[in-house]
Amino acid sequence: MGSTTRSSTSSNAGSGPNQTVAAREAFQVLLELSKLLNTGLDAETLAICVRLCENGVKPEALSLVINQARQGVSKSTSSSNLATNFDAKR
């Protein structure tokens, strides 16, 4: 499926407006899939991820980094909440 998408995209390389419309439609499909899969990625973040993948970043590596960042934020938030609760009890 991926090779078919690439070849159809490259065949539109000469037609700028058609290529732009196709890219927008493809991104909307990706965004809908992202929502269906509950990835938690907004349109801007998903666009950044797509650009990174287009520039050679491995999707698996990107996924690991995003998950680790979320875990770090989650731990930071829970630690902050614990400190706030502790201070409130004093």
The mean pLDDT value of the chain amounts to 82
Residues 47 and 53: their CA atoms lie apart, in Å, by 10
pTM comes to 0.65
Give the closest residue to 46 by CA, choosing from 32, 67, 58, 64: 32
Q: For 21-79, what is each residue's pLDDT tens digit?
A: 999 999 999 999 999 999 999 999 999 999 999 999 999 999 999 999 999 988 887 77
